[in-house]
Amino acid sequence: MKNLGPAIAWGLNRFVKVFGNLFSLACSSFTQVKKGRVMCWAYNFKQYSCNPRYLTEYLLKNNPEFEIYWVFRKKVDISGIDSRIKCVRFRSLEYYKLVNSAEFFITNSRTDPYRIYWHKRPGQKYLMLWHGGVALKKIEKDAEEKLGYSYVQKSKIDSKVCDLMTSSCRYQTDLMENKFWYSGEILKKGIPRNDIFFDMEQRASLNAKVRKLYSISSSDKIVMYAPTFRRGNDLSPYSINWDKVIPELEKVFGGVQVRVLVRLHPNLIGKVDTSGLVAYEKVTDATLYHDMQELLCVSDMLITDYSSAMFDFAMLERPCLLYATDIEKYDRGYYFRFDELPFPLARTQEELLSNLASFDRSEYDNKVTTFFDTNIGIYDDGHASEAIAEWMISRSIS
């Protein structure tokens, strides 16, 4: 009897998928692929963010001939999305029409055609704009045992139907060619979400917007603490006594006041009580802020642990420090040893305070430059979205 609930849930889930696929196939009999129709989603239909978002905004500004749709799950707030974007709810009748009529499919992570009721039709093109650039943690084929059989099979199918992936650097290209079960085209022009780093006008606008939202003075420095996701609800790895750390941060910035924005991983939203982590005078919870790249743009320093955001942030030529109290416990395999990285590592709060007290900006900048030149080979130059738009135009149906 104890297993009856899960068994019923599995059966219902299976029925929904089978029915959804049959219904989608039926819809395909009454629809045609429409030139210039673009279907976007991010993080399993849960966010308006990452590479699909930045490509969308480029297309809205520069290529109005594209008809852009975004797909979201029912409870996702879409009130702030540009009115030129047509928003569709996952599994709605409109969704089934869209999945059969879109010419371009654009997402930022693996998908399973069976689970989204998509059977690729002639003329349809799928762009998988992976949600990262440089990786620290091992991914895809290198993490096959930990990712599990189901994910691996989904990834292989995803790569088979994919028409284009994009790369931010020489290092990422090597991963895509050898670790993604992918043999298709790779556009080596950077990734859309990093274009913002090269747009000074947009960065200035974002700076004013974020400071107003969180009541931060224009003269204060912003330090973002953005640790990566851990399974379970243990918040202890994220705990920092900011009353001790902030004075050292202010010394690094020559005595200027510092405000801290704490942004936990979106997977923790609604699952944990974060109030204890931000119960300090100069600390604000920014976990619900919709877009990580925007927060990176306005931050003067980043503190993280294992997040690939460290590599994105380095392109802004601002300091990043690592605070990782559970390296041995968390380890799922890394591409670089921590002593190879140019970012100062602390395993305890005392080490973090020590690293801040001894921080040498000139030495740090030299290490970052050497590391990126030797190991990474950045492609990003602010024109990734433009390059993808040109690719789409050149391959659009007649």
CATH number belonging to the domain at 22-195+382-395, selected among 3.50.50.60, 3.40.50.2000, 3.40.50.11820, 3.40.50.1860: 3.40.50.11820
- Find all residues with CB under 8 Å of 231, minimum gap 6, and list them: none
pLDDT tens per residue, range 135-161: 998 999 999 988 899 999 999 999 999
- Which strand ranges, in their side-by-side order, compose the sheet holding 67-72? 86-89, 67-72, 37-40, 104-107, 125-128, 164-166, 185-187
Query: How confident is the model at residue 3, as a pLDDT?
Result: 53
Q: Assign a CATH topology to domain 200-376.
A: Rossmann fold (3.40.50)
Q: For residue 40, what are the β-bridge partners? A: 70, 106
Residue 2 in this model has a pLDDT that exceeds 50: no
pLDDT tens per residue, range 257-289: 999 999 988 777 777 788 888 999 999 999 888
pLDDT tens per residue, range 90-138: 999 999 999 999 999 999 999 999 999 999 999 999 999 999 889 998 9
- Domain 22-195+382-395 and domain 200-376, same fold? Reply is yes
Sorted by where each begins, the domain ranges of the chain are 22-195+382-395, 200-376
pLDDT tens per residue, range 328-351: 887 678 999 999 999 999 999 999
pTM of the entire predicted model: 0.90
Band the pLDDT of 1: cuts 50, 70, 90: very low
